[in-house]
Chain A
Protein backbone atom coordinates (compact mmCIF):
# COMPACT_ATOMS: atom_id res chain seq x y z
CA UNK A 1 0.00 0.00 0.00
CA UNK A 2 2.88 2.35 0.79
CA UNK A 3 4.15 1.84 -2.76
CA UNK A 4 0.82 2.88 -4.24
CA UNK A 5 0.69 6.02 -2.14
CA UNK A 6 4.33 6.80 -2.98
CA UNK A 7 3.50 6.40 -6.67
CA UNK A 8 0.42 8.60 -6.43
CA UNK A 9 2.01 11.34 -4.32
CA UNK A 10 5.26 11.80 -6.27
CA UNK A 11 3.46 11.31 -9.57
CA UNK A 12 0.84 13.90 -8.63
CA UNK A 13 3.48 16.49 -7.68
CA UNK A 14 5.38 15.92 -10.93
CA UNK A 15 2.10 16.14 -12.84
CA UNK A 16 1.26 19.52 -11.30
CA UNK A 17 4.77 20.78 -12.02
CA UNK A 18 4.61 19.63 -15.63
CA UNK A 19 1.18 21.20 -16.18
CA UNK A 20 2.39 24.52 -14.72
CA UNK A 21 5.49 24.51 -16.91
CA UNK A 22 3.65 23.60 -20.09
CA UNK A 23 0.81 26.08 -19.66
CA UNK A 24 2.47 29.15 -18.14
CA UNK A 25 5.72 31.00 -18.71
CA UNK A 26 7.12 29.79 -15.39
CA UNK A 27 10.32 27.72 -15.47
CA UNK A 28 11.49 24.75 -13.43
CA UNK A 29 13.27 27.23 -11.17
CA UNK A 30 9.98 28.94 -10.32
CA UNK A 31 8.18 25.65 -9.77
CA UNK A 32 10.82 24.09 -7.52
CA UNK A 33 10.95 27.27 -5.41
CA UNK A 34 7.17 27.25 -5.14
CA UNK A 35 7.18 23.58 -4.19
CA UNK A 36 9.71 24.12 -1.40
CA UNK A 37 7.48 26.78 0.11
CA UNK A 38 4.48 24.52 -0.48
CA UNK A 39 6.27 21.79 1.48
CA UNK A 40 6.89 24.19 4.36
CA UNK A 41 3.21 25.19 4.32
CA UNK A 42 2.13 21.53 4.32
CA UNK A 43 4.52 20.98 7.24
CA UNK A 44 2.99 23.98 9.00
CA UNK A 45 -0.45 22.37 8.89
CA UNK A 46 0.96 18.97 9.93
CA UNK A 47 -0.18 17.51 6.62
CA UNK A 48 3.25 16.46 5.37
CA UNK A 49 3.89 14.13 8.29
CA UNK A 50 0.67 12.32 7.49
CA UNK A 51 1.73 12.04 3.85
CA UNK A 52 5.07 10.55 4.95
CA UNK A 53 3.19 8.06 7.14
CA UNK A 54 1.23 6.97 4.06
CA UNK A 55 3.77 7.26 1.26
CA UNK A 56 6.92 6.43 3.22
CA UNK A 57 10.28 7.27 1.71
CA UNK A 58 8.55 8.21 -1.53
CA UNK A 59 7.30 11.36 0.17
CA UNK A 60 10.86 12.24 1.23
CA UNK A 61 12.05 12.32 -2.36
CA UNK A 62 10.33 15.41 -3.86
CA UNK A 63 11.68 18.88 -3.17
CA UNK A 64 8.58 19.61 -1.05
CA UNK A 65 10.11 17.37 1.62
CA UNK A 66 12.95 19.89 1.83
CA UNK A 67 10.58 22.68 2.86
CA UNK A 68 8.85 20.40 5.33
CA UNK A 69 12.16 19.42 6.95
CA UNK A 70 13.27 23.06 7.14
CA UNK A 71 10.04 24.06 8.86
CA UNK A 72 10.14 21.23 11.39
CA UNK A 73 13.83 21.76 12.13
CA UNK A 74 13.16 25.45 12.73
CA UNK A 75 10.20 24.69 14.97
CA UNK A 76 12.14 22.09 16.99
CA UNK A 77 14.90 24.65 17.38
CA UNK A 78 12.44 27.17 18.75
CA UNK A 79 11.05 24.66 21.24
CA UNK A 80 14.57 23.83 22.39
CA UNK A 81 16.21 27.21 22.57
CA UNK A 82 13.76 29.96 21.67
CA UNK A 83 14.34 32.38 18.80
CA UNK A 84 18.06 31.57 18.84
CA UNK A 85 17.15 27.94 18.33
CA UNK A 86 15.49 28.74 15.00
CA UNK A 87 18.77 30.10 13.73
CA UNK A 88 20.77 27.23 15.22
CA UNK A 89 18.53 24.41 14.04
CA UNK A 90 17.08 25.46 10.70
CA UNK A 91 19.41 23.43 8.45
CA UNK A 92 20.07 20.42 10.69
CA UNK A 93 17.85 17.80 9.05
CA UNK A 94 18.42 19.02 5.50
CA UNK A 95 22.17 19.02 6.06
CA UNK A 96 22.62 15.53 4.59
CA UNK A 97 20.97 16.49 1.32
CA UNK A 98 22.80 19.80 0.94
CA UNK A 99 26.18 18.40 1.94
CA UNK A 100 25.85 15.36 -0.30
CA UNK A 101 24.84 17.59 -3.20
CA UNK A 102 27.80 19.93 -2.73
CA UNK A 103 30.33 17.13 -2.22
CA UNK A 104 29.25 14.99 -5.16
CA UNK A 105 28.70 17.98 -7.46
CA UNK A 106 32.20 19.25 -6.65
CA UNK A 107 33.85 15.89 -7.21
CA UNK A 108 32.00 15.37 -10.49
CA UNK A 109 32.89 18.88 -11.63
CA UNK A 110 36.58 18.25 -10.97
CA UNK A 111 36.54 14.89 -12.77
CA UNK A 112 34.32 15.56 -15.79
CA UNK A 113 34.37 18.12 -18.57
CA UNK A 114 31.17 20.00 -19.48
CA UNK A 115 29.21 18.49 -22.36
CA UNK A 116 27.27 20.74 -24.68
Chain B
Protein backbone atom coordinates (compact mmCIF):
# COMPACT_ATOMS: atom_id res chain seq x y z
CA UNK B 1 0.00 0.00 0.00
CA UNK B 2 2.74 2.35 0.99
CA UNK B 3 4.70 1.48 -2.11
CA UNK B 4 1.68 2.02 -4.28
CA UNK B 5 1.07 5.39 -2.75
CA UNK B 6 4.70 6.22 -3.21
CA UNK B 7 4.73 5.24 -6.86
CA UNK B 8 1.58 7.27 -7.37
CA UNK B 9 3.28 10.20 -5.71
CA UNK B 10 6.33 9.77 -7.93
CA UNK B 11 4.15 9.58 -11.01
CA UNK B 12 2.30 12.69 -9.93
CA UNK B 13 5.50 14.66 -9.47
CA UNK B 14 7.36 13.39 -12.50
CA UNK B 15 7.28 16.32 -14.90
CA UNK B 16 5.14 14.70 -17.53
CA UNK B 17 3.77 17.91 -18.99
CA UNK B 18 7.31 19.16 -19.14
CA UNK B 19 8.31 16.42 -21.54
CA UNK B 20 5.34 17.17 -23.71
CA UNK B 21 6.12 20.88 -23.63
CA UNK B 22 9.77 20.16 -24.43
CA UNK B 23 8.76 18.10 -27.44
CA UNK B 24 6.41 20.83 -28.67
CA UNK B 25 9.08 23.49 -28.17
CA UNK B 26 11.66 21.40 -30.04
CA UNK B 27 9.22 20.88 -32.90
CA UNK B 28 8.08 24.49 -33.22
CA UNK B 29 11.46 26.18 -32.79
CA UNK B 30 13.25 23.55 -34.87
CA UNK B 31 10.70 24.09 -37.60
CA UNK B 32 11.08 27.86 -37.39
CA UNK B 33 14.84 27.47 -37.70
CA UNK B 34 14.30 25.41 -40.84
CA UNK B 35 12.06 28.15 -42.24
CA UNK B 36 14.65 30.78 -41.30
CA UNK B 37 17.34 28.75 -43.10
CA UNK B 38 15.25 28.61 -46.25
CA UNK B 39 14.44 32.33 -46.01
CA UNK B 40 18.10 33.32 -45.53
CA UNK B 41 19.12 31.09 -48.42
CA UNK B 42 16.49 32.69 -50.70
CA UNK B 43 17.58 36.16 -49.60
CA UNK B 44 21.25 35.48 -50.36
CA UNK B 45 20.35 33.83 -53.63
CA UNK B 46 18.31 36.82 -54.79
CA UNK B 47 20.54 39.60 -53.48
CA UNK B 48 23.87 38.21 -54.67
CA UNK B 49 22.48 36.30 -57.64
CA UNK B 50 24.13 33.04 -56.60
CA UNK B 51 23.21 29.44 -57.50
CA UNK B 52 21.18 27.58 -54.86
CA UNK B 53 24.12 25.41 -53.79
CA UNK B 54 26.41 28.38 -53.08
CA UNK B 55 23.65 30.27 -51.31
CA UNK B 56 22.99 27.18 -49.14
CA UNK B 57 26.64 27.03 -48.14
CA UNK B 58 26.63 30.77 -47.27
CA UNK B 59 23.51 30.19 -45.20
CA UNK B 60 25.24 27.37 -43.30
CA UNK B 61 28.29 29.55 -42.70
CA UNK B 62 26.05 32.30 -41.30
CA UNK B 63 24.38 29.81 -38.96
CA UNK B 64 27.74 28.41 -37.86
CA UNK B 65 29.14 31.90 -37.22
CA UNK B 66 26.08 32.87 -35.18
CA UNK B 67 26.28 29.67 -33.13
CA UNK B 68 30.00 30.20 -32.40
CA UNK B 69 29.41 33.83 -31.42
CA UNK B 70 26.39 33.03 -29.21
CA UNK B 71 28.35 30.24 -27.52
CA UNK B 72 31.29 32.53 -26.83
CA UNK B 73 28.93 35.15 -25.39
CA UNK B 74 27.39 32.51 -23.12
CA UNK B 75 23.95 32.97 -24.67
CA UNK B 76 23.76 29.60 -26.41
CA UNK B 77 23.39 27.56 -23.19
CA UNK B 78 20.50 29.75 -22.08
CA UNK B 79 18.91 29.33 -25.49
CA UNK B 80 19.35 25.56 -25.23
CA UNK B 81 17.51 25.56 -21.91
CA UNK B 82 14.58 27.18 -23.63
CA UNK B 83 14.68 25.92 -27.22
CA UNK B 84 15.82 22.37 -26.31
CA UNK B 85 16.82 20.13 -29.22
CA UNK B 86 15.79 22.78 -31.74
CA UNK B 87 19.27 24.31 -31.87
CA UNK B 88 21.26 21.17 -31.10
CA UNK B 89 20.15 19.07 -34.05
CA UNK B 90 20.83 21.72 -36.72
CA UNK B 91 24.42 22.52 -37.68
CA UNK B 92 24.41 25.14 -34.89
CA UNK B 93 24.74 22.30 -32.37
CA UNK B 94 27.92 21.08 -34.07
CA UNK B 95 29.43 24.57 -34.05
CA UNK B 96 28.39 25.04 -30.44
CA UNK B 97 30.02 21.80 -29.30
CA UNK B 98 33.36 22.73 -30.90
CA UNK B 99 33.35 26.28 -29.53
CA UNK B 100 32.26 25.34 -26.02
CA UNK B 101 34.84 22.55 -25.77
CA UNK B 102 37.58 24.89 -27.01
CA UNK B 103 36.53 27.62 -24.57
CA UNK B 104 36.32 25.22 -21.62
CA UNK B 105 39.89 24.06 -22.12
CA UNK B 106 41.34 27.42 -23.13
CA UNK B 107 43.17 27.68 -19.78
CA UNK B 108 45.27 24.60 -20.65
CA UNK B 109 46.94 26.40 -23.53
CA UNK B 110 46.81 26.44 -27.29
CA UNK B 111 47.97 22.86 -27.91
CA UNK B 112 47.01 20.79 -24.89
CA UNK B 113 43.92 22.85 -24.24
CA UNK B 114 42.21 24.10 -27.38
CA UNK B 115 43.96 21.83 -29.86
CA UNK B 116 43.46 18.58 -27.99
CA UNK B 117 39.95 19.22 -26.82
CA UNK B 118 38.06 21.22 -29.44
CA UNK B 119 36.64 18.05 -31.03
CA UNK B 120 35.89 16.41 -27.72
CA UNK B 121 32.13 16.47 -28.38
CA UNK B 122 31.94 17.00 -32.14
CA UNK B 123 34.44 14.21 -32.78
CA UNK B 124 31.81 11.51 -32.50
CA UNK B 125 29.72 13.19 -35.18
CA UNK B 126 32.68 13.27 -37.56
CA UNK B 127 33.83 9.76 -36.66
CA UNK B 128 30.49 7.99 -37.02
CA UNK B 129 29.47 10.13 -39.98
CA UNK B 130 32.58 9.18 -41.93
CA UNK B 131 32.58 5.53 -40.82
CA UNK B 132 28.88 5.19 -41.58
CA UNK B 133 29.18 6.87 -44.96
CA UNK B 134 32.26 4.80 -45.83
CA UNK B 135 30.55 1.51 -45.01
CA UNK B 136 27.41 2.54 -46.90
CA UNK B 137 29.41 3.50 -50.00
CA UNK B 138 31.14 0.10 -49.90
CA UNK B 139 27.79 -1.66 -49.45
CA UNK B 140 26.25 0.31 -52.31
CA UNK B 141 29.19 -0.47 -54.56
CA UNK B 142 29.07 -4.17 -53.71
CA UNK B 143 25.34 -4.33 -54.39
CA UNK B 144 25.68 -2.63 -57.76
CA UNK B 145 28.69 -4.64 -58.97
Contacts and interface: CB of A to CB of B under 8 A. Distances in A.
Nearest to B41: A57
Given A62-B91, A90-B134, A11 B37 contact: no
B104 interface: yes
B51 interface: no
A75 B139 CA distance: 10
Interface string A8-28: 111111110111011100001
B134 A37 contact: no
A63 B57 CA distance: 14
Residues of B in contact with A, size category: 35 or more
Interface of A is mostly: helix
Q: Name the residue among A8, A75, A104 with the largest chain B CB count within 10 angstroms.
A: A104
A115 B26 CA distance: 25
A96 B60 contact: yes
B141 A78 contact: yes
A3 B43 CA distance: 13
Interface string B87-120: 0111101110111001110110000001000100
Contacts of B118: 102, 105-106, 109
A2 B136 contact: no
Given A40-B136, A61-B34, A114-B106, A14 B27 contact: yes
A109 B113 CA distance: 11
A28 B88 contact: yes
B87 to A, nearest CB: 9
Interface in B67-103: 68-69, 71-74, 84-86, 88-91, 93-95, 97-99, 102-103
16 contacts: A11-B31, A11-B32, A18-B86, A31-B88, A43-B136, A55-B38, A58-B34, A61-B59, A62-B34, A63-B89, A86-B138, A97-B64, A100-B95, A109-B103, A109-B106, A111-B72
